[in-house]
Amino acid sequence: MRGVLAFAWTPKGTEMDFEGFLKEVLAPVLDFPDELAVEVKKNGRQVDVSLRAPQADRGRIIGRNGKMISSLRSLCRAAGDKQGLNVNLELVEDGEDEQTAHQEA
């Protein structure tokens, strides 16, 4: 199985590859897909996923009226729920740490 479906379907007992999934989904719509950085931090059942992208691609990740980022969050949360994880996806600006992003959200 190759592509997005390989990341969306995970056999029981395996963990979702959030980094691979997000890179696979976002690469076709970005102008600079090689500069997309995905950081996954796990703390027990909490999984924080941070996306960093060039300013030119941030609008594409957010989408019109925030529909794209909202959809990505929903997919990641659904995959996490299936594995008993609480997943939080954030688009972080360069120079901004995760604590600042969480305080503003």
Residue 53: give its domain's CATH number.
3.30.300.20
Q: Is residue 103 part of a domain?
A: no
Amino acid at 35: E
Minimum mean pLDDT range among 15-19, 66-70, 73-77? 15-19
Q: Is residue 104 part of a domain?
A: no
100 pLDDT band (50/70/90 cuts)? very low
Q: Is residue 105 part of a domain?
A: no
Q: Is residue 23 part of a domain?
A: yes
Which residue range forms the structural domain that includes residue 10?
4-94
Distance of CA 14 to the CA centre of its chain: 18
Q: Is residue 100 part of a domain?
A: no
3-56 pLDDT, tens per residue?
A: 554 455 555 556 789 999 999 999 999 999 999 999 999 999 999 999 999 999
Q: Is residue 52 part of a domain?
A: yes
Give this prediction's pTM: 0.77
Token reading at 9 = 């379907």
Domains held by the chain: number: 1
Q: Is residue 102 part of a domain?
A: no
Q: Is residue 48 part of a domain?
A: yes
Query: What strand order describes the sheet that includes 46-52?
Result: 37-43, 46-52, 86-91
Instruction: Kindly state the helix (H) or strand (E) to which residue 88 belongs, with its residue range.
Output: strand 86-91
